[in-house]
C-alpha cells in the first residue's frame, strides 16, 4: 500500500510520518525488502554523505545512532519491546553502516517483524480484555501515570509491560470519564480505537517498513531531511498560492496523536480562531451533527483525509488544547472548509492611534501573513501580478499620505514563502545592499539582496515577530536588525534556517538539506532564530514549537560577515526603550494577564505524572481552573469589570444573549478586539520617536560600503 499525498505536509516538518499503523497481512506474514528498496538505500546513503550540509559519514557511530533512532521510531513509548528484545538487536549496532552501503536491509526488516509480532499480540489482547478491565478498575487507589516516557527504561519482562498497559488504559478511561463520556460508552469507544489500530497493524507492506527505516536514518542528519516514498514523491508539491481546500492547518504525528503544527495564515482555521498550534486532534466529525470518529492512533494521512473536504462543508474537530497536560480536557472546534487564496494572504494596513500627552500619534501597521508571489502571472508578463513587495509598496505610500509618523511591520505567524520576496521587501527599507547569505554544502557562499540604489522608506520602523515567524520572515527581520534600520520586537522567531532540495532515487525521492541561510552579520538564522531587541512574553511553548524543539536540528553557527552600512546606532536606544516597555507593561492589565498565562503554562509543563486516583485528578484539574479564574479576575478587577464566579460565566452570558454574542463575534472578525502585543509594538515605536536625542529618528545618508 502506497502512502497518500497528504503525508507531504509532514515531510516539510521532518517528523516521522507513521505511528502504530499498517503492518502485514492477517496471519502475520514476515515482510521482506524488495530489490528496488535495496538499490534505493545505497543511493540514499551516497546522497546523504555527499550532499547533506552537515557532511556526516554513515559510519559505526552513525549506525549506532540509527539503531536507537529506529527502535524509538517504532516504540517510542517503550510499550511493546522488552529489554531482552532490545538486547537482541545490539548485534546490529555497529554493522548497519556496512550492511546498508551494500544494500542489505536485514536489520530494518528483522527488527520491524519483531515489532509487528509484539504489536499485533498486544492489540489483540487489549481488544479481548478491555471491557472486563474497565469494569474492575478502582479509581480510589493512589497511583500515577508517568508523562516523561523518555526517562523510562525498557521493561525487564512481559509482566512489567502488562503493568504499563494497565496504567495506560486506566489513564485513558479516567480521561474519558472526566471528559464526561457516559460510562457505558467508554469501553466500546476504547475497543473500537484499538480494533482500528489492529486493522492498521495488519496492512503494513515493505514500502511502509522501508520508509520508517529510511527516515529514522535521514532524521539523524536533520529534521527536514526525509525519504519520500513513490506515492509521496508523486504528489509532493509546494504551492506558493496556498490554494488548499480544507481547513488550512499543517498537521504532524506525535506518538498516537495528530497534532497541529501550524495554521496557514488567513485559512479557515486561522480565521475561525479556536484551533491553536500544538492542539491534539482526537476526533473528527462531519457536518454540524455527524458522529465523532475517534482518531487516536490513526495514520496521519487517514486523519487528514477525514478533515479535508469540499468547500463550504463543515468539519468538527475534537481536540485536547495545547495547554492541557492531561487528556481530560476536550473541546469541539467547528470549521467551515474553504480554499486559502492568494488574495486573502495579501498584506493589509491599519493605523494605531497612540495617545501621548495632549496629542495622538498615528502609527501605521502593515500586516504580512506570508511572503507570496504569483509566479504564473509574473512569467506570463502580467504588469499587475501580485506579490508581497508590490502590495507593501502601495500600502507604505498610502500610510504616509495619511500622516503616520512610523511603521510597524507585523510578521507574527508568518511562516515564510518566497525568498525573492524577502529580499525585495527588505529593499523597500534600505537604499541598497545584501540581504542574505546562502552557504551550500560545498561551502560556497552566495549573497543576495538589493543591487541598485533606489528610493526607500527611511522613517521609524519596528518589526513585530513571534515564535511562528519563520524562514523568509527571519531573513527580513534579521536584515532589518543587522542594518540597524529598525527595532525588532516580540518573541524569538522559529529558527528555520535551512534549504532543502529534492533528489530522485530508484524508488521515491530524498528531500535533503543542502544549504543554510546566514544573515549579513554572519549569524545563522538556524536554531536560534532572530532574537528581538525588545522581548515580549511568548504565548507559545518553545519546547513544543520551533526549530530548537525538533530532534537533531542543525546547530546555530556563523560565517564571515558582509560589510554593510548601519543606518542608526541603536545600542543606546534599546536599553532605554526596553526600560520604558517594562514600566508600561507592568501597569497594563492585558499585558500582565498574558504574562500570568505564560507562567501558568510553564507550571503545567512541569507536571511529570498524572494521578490515577479520580479524586486527586479532579483536584488537579480544579486547581488549574482556579488558577485560570484568578488570572482572569485579576485582569477584570484592574480594568474595573465585575469578577467571574467561574470561567463558564462568560460563555453562559453569551448563550443567554445571542445578539450580544453575535456582536462580539463580528467585532473579533473585524479586528476590533485589542491586540495587546501590536499595541505595545506601536508604543515602542512612539518611545523611539520621543527620545530626546532623536538619534534613531533622524536619517543620515548611507555611506559607500567598504571593499
Residues annotated as catalytic are: 471, 482, 496
SS3 524: strand
Angle, in degrees to the nearest 10, between helices 206-221 and 106-136: 100
Query: 96 phi and psi, to 5 degrees?
Result: -65, -30
Distance CA 227, CA 17 (A): 10
Helical H segments across 224-273, by residue range: 230-235, 268-272
Distance CA 228, CA 209 (A): 13
The residue written with cell numbers 559510519 in the block is 59
The set of cell numbers assigned to 124 is 489483540
Radius of gyration of the chain (CA): 27
The residue written with cell numbers 506601536 in the block is 682
Contacts of residue 271, Cβ cutoff 8 Å, sequence gap at least 6: 669
The set of cell numbers assigned to 564 is 554593510
The set of cell numbers assigned to 421 is 520576496
Distance CA 332, CA 329 (A): 11
The strand pairing partners of 146, in sequence order, are: 609
Q: Are 614 and 183 in contact (CB under 8 A)?
A: no
Contacts of residue 197, Cβ cutoff 8 Å, sequence gap at least 6: 20, 21, 123, 297
The set of cell numbers assigned to 482 is 543587522
SS3 129: helix
Q: Are 191 and 131 in contact (CB under 8 A)?
A: yes
Cα dihedral: 443, 240, 281, 322 (round 10): 60
Quote the distance between the C-alpha of residue 203 and its chain's center: 30
SS3 108: helix
Amino acid at each position: 500500500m502506497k502512502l497518500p499525498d497528504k503525508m507531504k505536509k509532514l515531510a516539510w516538518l521532518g517528523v516521522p510520518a507513521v505511528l502504530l499503523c499498517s503492518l502485514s497481512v492477517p496471519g502475520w506474514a514476515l515482510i521482506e525488502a524488495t530489490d528496488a528498496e535495496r538499490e534505493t538505500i545505497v543511493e540514499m546513503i551516497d546522497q546523504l554523505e555527499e550532499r547533506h550540509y552537515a557532511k556526516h559519514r554513515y559510519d559505526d557511530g552513525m549506525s549506532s545512532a540509527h539503531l536507537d533512532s529506529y527502535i524509538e521510531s517504532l516504540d517510542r513509548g517503550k510499550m511493546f519491546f522488552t529489554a531482552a528484545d532490545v538486547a537482541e538487536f545490539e548485534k546490529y549496532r555497529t554493522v548497519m553502516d556496512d550492511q546498508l552501503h551494500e544494500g542489505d536491509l536485514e536489520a530494518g526488516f528483522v527488527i520491524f517483524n519483531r515489532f509487528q509480532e509484539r504489536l499485533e499480540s498486544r492489540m489483540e489482547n487489549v481488544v479481548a480484555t478491555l471491557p472486563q478491565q474497565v469494569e474492575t478498575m478502582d479509581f480510589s487507589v493512589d497511583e500515577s501515570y508517568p508523562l516523561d516516557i523518555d526517562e523510562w527504561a525498557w521493561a525487564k519482562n512481559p509482566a512489567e509491560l502488562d503493568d504499563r498497559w494497565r496504567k495506560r488504559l486506566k489513564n485513558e478511561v479516567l480521561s474519558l470519564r472526566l471528559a464526561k463520556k457516559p460510562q457505558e460508552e467508554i469501553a466500546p469507544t476504547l475497543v473500537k480505537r484499538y480494533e482500528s489500530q489492529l486493522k492498521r497493524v495488519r496492512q503494513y507492506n515493505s514500502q511502509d517498513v522501508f520508509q520508517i527505516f529510511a527516515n529514522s536514518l535521514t532524521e539523524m542528519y536533520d529534521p527536514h531531511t526525509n525519504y519520500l516514498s513513490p506515492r509521496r514523491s508523486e504528489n509532493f508539491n509546494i504551492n506558493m498560492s496556498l490554494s488548499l481546500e480544507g481547513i488550512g492547518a499543517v498537521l504532524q504525528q506525535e506518538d498516537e496523536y495528530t497534532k497541529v503544527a501550524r495554521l496557514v495564515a488567513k485559512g479557515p482555521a486561522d480565521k475561525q480562531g479556536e484551533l491553536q498550534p500544538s492542539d491534539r486532534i482526537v476526533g473528527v466529525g462531519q457536518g454540524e451533527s455527524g458522529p465523532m470518529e475517534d482518531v487516536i492512533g490513526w495514520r496521519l494521512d487517514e486523519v487528514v483525509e477525514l478533515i479535508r473536504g469540499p468547500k463550504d462543508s463543515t468539519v468538527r474537530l475534537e481536540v485536547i488544547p495545547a495547554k492541557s497536560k492531561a487528556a481530560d480536557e476536550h473541546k469541539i472546534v467547528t470549521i467551515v472548509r474553504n480554499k486559502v487564496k492568494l488574495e486573502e494572504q495579501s498584506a493589509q494596513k491599519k493605523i494605531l492611534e497612540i495617545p501621548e500627552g495632549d496629542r495622538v500619534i498615528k502609527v501605521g501597521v502593515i500586516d504580512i501573513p506570508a511572503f507570496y508571489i504569483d509566479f504564473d502571472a509574473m512569467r506570463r508578463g502580467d504588469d499587475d501580478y501580485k506579490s508581497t513587495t508590490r502590495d507593501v509598496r502601495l500600502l507604505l505610500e498610502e500610510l504616509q499620505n495619511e500622516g503616520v509618523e512610523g511603521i510597524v511591520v507585523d510578521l507574527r505567524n508568518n511562516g515564510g514563502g518566497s525568498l525573492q520576496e524577502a529580499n525585495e521587501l527588505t529593499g523597500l527599507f534600505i537604499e541598497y545592499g545584501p540581504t542574505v547569505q546562502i552557504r551550500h554544502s560545498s561551502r560556497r557562499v552566495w549573497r543576495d539582496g538589493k543591487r541598485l540604489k533606489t528610493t526607500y522608506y527611511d522613517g521609524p520602523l519596528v518589526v513585530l515577530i513571534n515564535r511562528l515567524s519563520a524562514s523568509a520572515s527571519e531573513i527580513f527581520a534579521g536584515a532589518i536588525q543587522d542594518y540597524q534600520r529598525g527595532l525588532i520586537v516580540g518573541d524569538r522567531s522559529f529558527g528555520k534556517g535551512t534549504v532543502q532540495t529534492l533528489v530522485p532515487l530508484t524508488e521515491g525521492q530524498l528531500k535533503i538539506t543542502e544549504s543554510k541561510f546566514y544573515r549579513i552579520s554572519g549569524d545563522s538564522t538556524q536554531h536560534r532564530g532572530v532574537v528581538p531587541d525588545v522581548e515580549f512574553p511568548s504565548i507559545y511553548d518553545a519546547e513544543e514549537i520551533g526549530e530548537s524543539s525538533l530532534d537533531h536540528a542543525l546547530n546555530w553557527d556563523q560565517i564571515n560577515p558582509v560589510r554593510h552600512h548601519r543606518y542608526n546606532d541603536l545600542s543606546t536606544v534599546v536599553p532605554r526603550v526596553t526600560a520604558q516597555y517594562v514600566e508600561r507593561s507592568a501597569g497594563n492589565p492585558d499585558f500582565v494577564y498574558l504574562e500570568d498565562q505564560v507562567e501558568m503554562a510553564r507550571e503545567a509543563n512541569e507536571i511529570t505524572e498524572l494521578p490515577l486516583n479520580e479524586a486527586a485528578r479532579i483536584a488537579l484539574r480544579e486547581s488549574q481552573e482556579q488558577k485560570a479564574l484568578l488570572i482572569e479576575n485579576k485582569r477584570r478587577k484592574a480594568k474595573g469589570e465585575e469578577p467571574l464566579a467561574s470561567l463558564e460565566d462568560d460563555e453562559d452570558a453569551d448563550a443567554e444573549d445571542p445578539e450580544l454574542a453575535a456582536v462580539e463575534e463580528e467585532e473579533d472578525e473585524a479586528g476590533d478586539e485589542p491586540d495587546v502585543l501590536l499595541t505595545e509594538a506601536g508604543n515602542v515605536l512612539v518611545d523611539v520617536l520621543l527620545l530626546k536625542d532623536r538619534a534613531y529618528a533622524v536619517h543620515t545618508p548611507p555611506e559607500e560600503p567598504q571593499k
